[in-house]
Amino acid sequence: MLHKILVALENPDQSQNIFEQALFLAQVSSSEIMLLHVLSPLEDPYLNPIFLQPETIYPSLYGETMNKYMQAWDEHKQERLKWIQSLMETAIGRGVKAEMLQTVGDPGRVICEQAISWSADLIIVGRRGRRGISEVVLGSVSNYVLHHAPCSVLTIQGAIPG
């Protein structure tokens, strides 16, 4: 029986279907959900300055440029946080006990660690359908989670890249 479903969401464009299916499953199984969004310093459009040392990588990157960069990163984090909060409010509005977490790190590892600490019964994660060399080169969060999760994993196929 399911009691806790961890739902890993990547971005608004690719995660709506995952959210809807997770919400349906939570409703029919009377489970609670945790919506998890991991900002990845290697995949997001704005790398987190914590992971960079601009004075050693780009000695001329100071002042106004760095301020603009940090402002863009903060705006990105806030946009994603508002998005996750709106999904949580939707779930609550549909009668599902829900909570959310946004953090920074390696998505696969963070998902598995959060599943352990939250005692999840199921992880729901999307997959993009990469195959062959693109999966090897670009990595796969869903593949990592499938092999390292402490509980069952449901992968939901996203759009297959052309």
User: Tell me: the pLDDT tens digits for 107-117?
Assistant: 999 999 999 99
Other CB atoms within 10 A of residue 13 CB: 8
DSSP structure string for 87-155:
HHHHHHHTT--EEEEEEES-HHHHHHHHHHHHT-SEEEEEE----HHHHHHH--HHHHHHHH-SSEEEE
| Tokens standing for residue 137 | 């080169």
Say if residue 86's pLDDT is above 50: yes
| pLDDT number for residue 134 | 47
- For the segment 60-89, the average pLDDT, to the nearest whole number, is 83
Q: How confident is the model at residue 147 (pLDDT cuts 50, 70, 90)?
A: very high
| Tokens standing for residue 99 | 């909570």
| pLDDT number for residue 137 | 40
Q: How confident is the model at residue 157 (pLDDT cuts 50, 70, 90)?
A: confident
Structural domains in the chain, CATH included, are: 4-51+75-140+148-156 (3.40.50.620)
